Structure 1
């Protein structure tokens, strides 16, 4: 009888011994009936096995020799106790309220409906809590299934259990005679269905490998419910209601952590607790392992664990306690991959961006788009990847860490293929953002795969918006993989996009990475180009002194390298920065030097840009006549070369100058046209600028209501673009009074 109860919960003698505090030898002796147990030992066994009062009495009777022949559970179905095979429920089960209710409703709603079997597959990645959810729900449903609960681990991700063996286990638990060696699977399944017919039994099939493994285990009548967990979709099962489990919400993760570690400890170190939870990425198993580490190390504070988890190279090592580990759980799925899938998984782990589209992944893996799509779908099917949107794939952070641990040949080449592909795609988009080419000579960064082509400006900017976080990651990956030429060229190409969207932090970060890569390889051309971009963004971040230092270095390196276009750009940006610092004489000197070089080299874009900058200096000096003249010359050049983006920016300047000169109607006209152009070009940063300046001009022109309306529109545009100036403008608008005639950013 003791052996039957032990096997019912699926434990070995060693596992039972550990749970009840009785030696393995003693349990072996009891199961072989060589010695009668002490009553205290029986009590321990009862508690460990979760026996009800009737089962307890039968076990005591058997141990004292007072059991009747049919009390041992071997007399057949009529005399057999109802099987209670569910593993113990978690005392600290947390969250999953929606999924718990959904599974309960599915298991309860269709009972007794003719011809219907309720099947509910709970699918998700390893460690996401599928088994915990199934067991928790199963315990809650016990009153609805008085004839018992059957449970089997199908070991789908290791060595899958044979259906005939599981059937035999179930038949024994139901009081039936063991299957004979000569019985076929069909015959054994028929006996099983006979035993469960017209009985209310909950059947939990944990970790199913596929539909073929599950089908023989399904009952044939409508009084039973079947709850299946699997890492696969089990698409071959008909009538299955699928419930996908994702990671836990931050709130539920914190609650679980508190229940294990203690609310007082978490309250004492809230920031460290959140750092631990962020490192765990919402994966329930990881949260449990982190909490268990604190339990196992009483001298540790939560900060100790948070600091250890911050080291990505040791992250999975830290999430391991005794025989349980996040790495081991992930390894179960990884071991079942084909060689091609395993190689793709390892190479994808070298990518640090938030996600990848199929075309980008094809460049990384050096496979066709069709083959790549198939591999990515296979990895997503076993939850080693997620698919946040069609044809786009992403890692859970812990899975990415595990993937990056896997050895693979050709990883540097793979990263170069991907980042080179991104470089060429950005190059294809840039003509829609600037009228003059940057002439970066991309031949050395050729990815070997065709870049994307864009139908128009809208498509190009939409792709850049979609991929901007990946493009920032591409710079970092290229720098880390030794692809210095790509690491510095990408931020140079992306400068106009960062300017368009006001992404100053991304611009500064990528320039710093590109500069380090160019310096490491002694590439003077790369250094001067990236220093120029870095100087441009630093002044926009309110760091003019740092900007000037970068740009002076850029001028020196450009001259040494003989890169005239870079020298012109550096002098131009240096003049702008001097102007922001209040050094107008230095600004004029730098701009005039750049203007002379531009005219010698017939660089029309640079000439127009420098005229605009000189106009700005004249404006700051109060010489509105010269400011307007310079600005009109710049506008004519940009219009002639077809640079509508910069032409619209010059219209902003003309409006501001006319307004300062007291010609408010002309200012309103220029600024209204500038707003229209920026809106057409989807330049939200400059559109917001123009709207604020237009609002000022309207107020000064005796139209305060219209002016305030334009300020409000500017705020809406900033909010839509996640503009860093949004808070400043919102605060300024809160202080507006009927007497307010101007706002500044």
Structure 2
């Protein structure tokens, strides 16, 4: 099959009826043959306003083309990002034209003029009018213009070959047809004048020159170019005009270096710059200093410069040091192109007009490195759509049009480690050190190059380099060798391109030590000046000292500092900021986050009891920034977005000794962390601030630490935490706080199996609460007592007390606390045998927990359902519920940390299925935990199950030992084995075990 685009679009093999859009899509695929044409480009070209179904419609268009052209589907191939027309054995007149032109140019340069005439004439004979003649639209027009330029260049080359073989009539015929379409093409006019003169028509040649000159001066205010002027001078002297000298073809690129980790971006941009149409105009590589923009630009230009036969121009603009004058660069480029530069006193407009004329009809690649601004670049960009430019800059140069911008990323960990290893086989601890070095260098190529050079010198080894990089105050000292200096690279942007407010913002961001931050933060740290903060932030983003991270979960724009920029800014903060100003800035930022955290905390619906001290003292509310409403409107999403920053601020405050403010921020985030199940993060923050001086805050921190320890199964810590909490409450003389601490102390003693002491604490709390008319605390204390009774053989009494507390909780409306107590109540009802009522309680608990996505509560609900299924002897349902529960962990999962409840439930299921050998290790695992924590009631549950398991396995000695330990433990607890209320699947037979 043969395709034609140099005229109306045609399929030559046999007539094929194509619709308008089918013809347009086929033309785009043909113009870009053997390369992928992105679907987005096809959609944007076919539809001026793409409908929602555009992608599906494009798919249908491609399917129709395949049916009409190649039912086998080998012609148009689907690729991940678009479609590729694979020519293989098919023909395309555009490819034939380009191949003939290439051969003709090579023959012309080697002075094989007769062969060049034949080859170039063959190429031009393929044209049947204007390219894509039956297509309309912007893409077709731009492509048609570009192909027309190729046709002109081929015609010019043919005329040169004809002139060299003295075919003057042929030159005039060729040139005349081309000038009809491009009447001001100076190269063609020059060939025409020479052909006229050599054909004995000198007077006609002089007249033609004057006609052209008048038109150029009248319409554009410029004189003819130097080649035409030289030909005119020869005519005036009545000497033979010189032969058409071959054009200078500059190749100014510096030597490319070997690049690592840039294959993806190089591949994409290589495809872009090799694509005939539509050309990108300018590829702009932007990024921070040291990111590798120059190296990438040089390698990219080296890859594609063969596609620009008229030369590659290169200039270092030195925008970050001593910006070069664009006029100086123009003069250099003119000399490289073989054009005499105008005198120094010539007007700038004349100089630029001469440069534009020199490259107007050439296919040139211009590489401009380290641009300061748009003004430095704009006049150096080639005007021809056949040419292209590669520009690098630390700035985004937003004022440039027709630019394909690409941010140059840092290197991946794998590539960076390979760079440091430099071919050495590094494994084990050394590989870990290499990854640490990469992390400390922030994956920045310049920093990694310095480290690699230091390692290659043999003066230091990798462990010493990592030690130096770990010291923040000398990190940048370790990243300098010879004239390569990371600190100096960053300083070029900081000192040379930033206003005072932008410099101050960078220093203060580093001083506050947050990894990422939202846009409002800039205004807060600049004296709450929103406009000033926005402008300063724009400056920092423009020079890539601050990088945007996109929008967070709450829709806020977020930003970050590269770690080495943060180290540099921290140094400057120490040198240039007053210590008290830094402290004020840190406190102001913390108060802003605290203000928003308070709004989000109050709207989150976590159901935790507020911290209220004597005289109504509560957690401070902070000072939220003006016009920031997202925390109140989207509390969950705001916390999702900000929790990492809150953690950074708490750490910074703790290091600065401002524990009270850090504690307030921690407690305002506590409910969110509870609901999200972030126990480790929660515990770490609380431990950092537990020594705060404000007693109300300290009481709140101790209360939350008690809950984190209970959730993590660290029961041995509970009593001490509750005693500390009780001491703070009594010091404050706060009745409700004392009652709450007594309840927690009772819970701690209950978990440790000290039931009488626990009962005393619950009763003491009840008595104090009744005296203070605190009905909520009365119900709470009695509810916890009821839970203990239900678990120690008195489920009916216990369930009744839990029901009382449940009723008290309902008064306050739906909450997380209500869902927890509903789950507790379901457990108690299951022990009474009322499984249907237990299921109803769990349904309600689940409905309350779902909107909050409360992982812990939902997990507890699922595991309670599984326990109820076991009591109903429905083993399959129990296992299914357990497997489908949130964050469920299979016992076979390596390094897993299932809850105690899950370990026991899975062991019961396995035992019920006759797989006692698999149940044993799960129970042993739970047993070890409970021995370590001294949780004696849970230990009794483990022992009774292990005794039954080992008896089933025929291991009577081990079963007897566990039974003996169980008897002593139950006697000490004051309960019997029946009080454990085991599910029937356990199959524990006390008499059978004791008789062996």
Could you say which TM-score interval applies, normalised by the shorter chain? 0.7 to 0.9
Give the distance between the partners of 2:611 and 2:438, measured in 1 at CA.
45
**Aligned twin of 2:778:** 607
Q: Which ranges of structure 2 fall in alignment gaps of 5 or more residues?
A: 1-241, 552-556, 891-895, 927-996
Give a deviation string over 1:696-738, Cα, whole Å, max 9, x none. 213433544544443233136899xxxx956999999998669
**Aligned twin of 1:278:** 439
Residue 311 (structure 2) pairs with residue 148 (structure 1)? yes
Contact 1:289-1:319 at 8 Å conserved across structures:
yes
Give the distance between the partners of 1:604 and 1:333, measured in 2 at CA.
65
Residue 610 (structure 2) pairs with residue 437 (structure 1)? yes
**Aligned twin of 1:492:** 667
Residue 534 (structure 2) pairs with residue 388 (structure 1)? no
Give the distance between the partners of 2:807 and 2:883, measured in 1 at CA.
31
1:599 and 1:248, CA in 2 relative to 1: closer, same or farther beyond 3 A?
A: farther
Give a deviation string over 1:481-535, Cα, whole Å, max 9, x none. 443321122223333222222211122221122124x2xxx44444333233223
1:286 and 1:561, CA in 2 relative to 1: closer, same or farther beyond 3 A?
A: same
| 1:684 equivalent among 850, 855, 878 | 855
1:411 and 1:718, CA in 2 relative to 1: closer, same or farther beyond 3 A?
A: farther
1:278 and 1:448, CA in 2 relative to 1: closer, same or farther beyond 3 A?
A: closer
1:235 is displaced (CA, Å) by 2.1
Q: Which ranges of structure 1 fall in alignment gaps of 5 or more residues?
A: 1-74
Give a deviation string over 1:635-676, Cα, whole Å, max 9, x none. 011111335221111110111112233332222222222222
1:664 and 1:727, CA in 2 relative to 1: closer, same or farther beyond 3 A?
A: closer
Contact 2:745-2:758 at 8 Å conserved across structures:
yes
Q: How does 1:42-81 map to 2 (within 5 A)?
A: 78=245
| 1:134 equivalent among 297, 300, 317 | 297
1:715 aligned counterpart, secondary structure: coil
Q: Out of 568-577 and 201-210, give the one that drifted further.
A: 568-577
TM-score (norm 2): 0.61
Give a deviation string over 1:212-245, Cα, whole Å, max 9, x none. 2111112233443211111222222221111121
1:607 is displaced (CA, Å) by 3.4
Q: How does 1:543-692 map to 2 (within 5 A)?
A: 543-642=714-813, 644-692=815-863
Give the distance between the partners of 2:904 and 2:251, measured in 1 at CA.
68
1:324 and 1:596, CA in 2 relative to 1: closer, same or farther beyond 3 A?
A: farther
Contact 1:416-1:481 at 8 Å conserved across structures:
no
Give a deviation string over 1:580-626, Cα, whole Å, max 9, x none. 33333333333333333333344444434323322222133222122
Contact 2:888-2:898 at 8 Å conserved across structures:
no
1:728 and 1:552, CA in 2 relative to 1: closer, same or farther beyond 3 A?
A: closer
1:219 aligned counterpart, secondary structure: coil
1:95 and 1:199, CA in 2 relative to 1: closer, same or farther beyond 3 A?
A: same
1:442 and 1:202, CA in 2 relative to 1: closer, same or farther beyond 3 A?
A: farther
| 1:354 equivalent among 485, 509, 515 | 515
Contact 1:83-1:173 at 8 Å conserved across structures:
yes
Give the distance between the partners of 2:684 and 2:490, measured in 1 at CA.
33
Q: Out of 274-283 and 171-180, give the one that drifted further.
A: 171-180
Q: Note the aligned Cα RMSD (angstroms).
A: 3.3
| 1:398 equivalent among 564, 576, 586 | 564
**Aligned twin of 1:365:** 526
1:454 and 1:220, CA in 2 relative to 1: closer, same or farther beyond 3 A?
A: closer
2:597 aligned counterpart, secondary structure: helix
1:325 and 1:80, CA in 2 relative to 1: closer, same or farther beyond 3 A?
A: farther
Which structure has the larger Rg over C-alpha atoms? 2
Give the distance between the partners of 1:418 and 1:130, measured in 2 at CA.
35
Residue 592 (structure 2) pairs with residue 421 (structure 1)? yes
Q: How does 1:160-239 map to 2 (within 5 A)?
A: 160-239=323-402
Give the distance between the partners of 1:168 and 1:727, measured in 2 at CA.
76
Q: Out of 286-295 and 339-348, give the one that drifted further.
A: 286-295
Contact 2:879-2:906 at 8 Å conserved across structures:
no
Residue 468 (structure 2) pairs with residue 308 (structure 1)? yes
Contact 1:87-1:135 at 8 Å conserved across structures:
yes
1:448 and 1:638, CA in 2 relative to 1: closer, same or farther beyond 3 A?
A: closer
Contact 1:415-1:481 at 8 Å conserved across structures:
no
| 2:623 equivalent among 418, 433, 447 | 447
2:683 aligned counterpart, secondary structure: helix
| 2:406 equivalent among 231, 243, 267 | 243
1:135 is displaced (CA, Å) by 0.8
Contact 1:347-1:411 at 8 Å conserved across structures:
yes
1:117 and 1:654, CA in 2 relative to 1: closer, same or farther beyond 3 A?
A: closer
Contact 1:489-1:514 at 8 Å conserved across structures:
no
Contact 1:106-1:118 at 8 Å conserved across structures:
no
Give the distance between the partners of 1:620 and 1:411, measured in 2 at CA.
55
| 2:699 equivalent among 528, 546, 563 | 528
1:586 and 1:504, CA in 2 relative to 1: closer, same or farther beyond 3 A?
A: farther
1:510 and 1:637, CA in 2 relative to 1: closer, same or farther beyond 3 A?
A: same
Contact 1:435-1:641 at 8 Å conserved across structures:
no
1:264 and 1:178, CA in 2 relative to 1: closer, same or farther beyond 3 A?
A: same
**Aligned twin of 1:23:** none
Q: Out of 560-569 and 681-690, give the one that drifted further.
A: 560-569
Q: Out of 487-496 and 709-718, give the one that drifted further.
A: 709-718
1:243 aligned counterpart, secondary structure: strand
1:730 and 1:383, CA in 2 relative to 1: closer, same or farther beyond 3 A?
A: farther
| 1:254 equivalent among 417, 431, 447 | 417
Give a deviation string over 1:377-435, Cα, whole Å, max 9, x none. 33212211122224221222222222222232412111111211222222223333237
1:694 is displaced (CA, Å) by 1.0
Contact 1:279-1:310 at 8 Å conserved across structures:
yes
Give the distance between the partners of 1:692 and 1:443, measured in 2 at CA.
35
**Aligned twin of 1:469:** 644
Contact 1:293-1:319 at 8 Å conserved across structures:
no
1:152 is displaced (CA, Å) by 1.0
TM-score (norm 1): 0.81
Contact 2:606-2:815 at 8 Å conserved across structures:
no
Give the distance between the partners of 1:528 and 1:121, measured in 2 at CA.
57
1:712 and 1:545, CA in 2 relative to 1: closer, same or farther beyond 3 A?
A: closer
Contact 1:578-1:584 at 8 Å conserved across structures:
yes
| 2:492 equivalent among 309, 332, 335 | 332
Contact 1:412-1:482 at 8 Å conserved across structures:
no
Give the distance between the partners of 2:874 and 2:255, measured in 1 at CA.
74
Give the distance between the partners of 1:96 and 1:607, measured in 2 at CA.
67
1:718 and 1:641, CA in 2 relative to 1: closer, same or farther beyond 3 A?
A: farther
**Aligned twin of 1:87:** 254
Contact 2:284-2:393 at 8 Å conserved across structures:
yes
1:231 and 1:729, CA in 2 relative to 1: closer, same or farther beyond 3 A?
A: farther
Contact 2:502-2:540 at 8 Å conserved across structures:
yes
Residue 896 (structure 2) pairs with residue 715 (structure 1)? no
Give a deviation string over 1:171-214, Cα, whole Å, max 9, x none. 23333334422023322222323333444432110111122211
Contact 1:436-1:605 at 8 Å conserved across structures:
no
Contact 1:347-1:364 at 8 Å conserved across structures:
yes
1:626 and 1:496, CA in 2 relative to 1: closer, same or farther beyond 3 A?
A: farther
1:133 and 1:613, CA in 2 relative to 1: closer, same or farther beyond 3 A?
A: same
1:477 is displaced (CA, Å) by 2.2
1:268 and 1:548, CA in 2 relative to 1: closer, same or farther beyond 3 A?
A: closer
1:94 aligned counterpart, secondary structure: coil
**Aligned twin of 1:341:** 502
1:308 and 1:175, CA in 2 relative to 1: closer, same or farther beyond 3 A?
A: same
Aligned residues: 656
Give a deviation string over 1:118-151, Cα, whole Å, max 9, x none. 3111111211111111011122223333443221
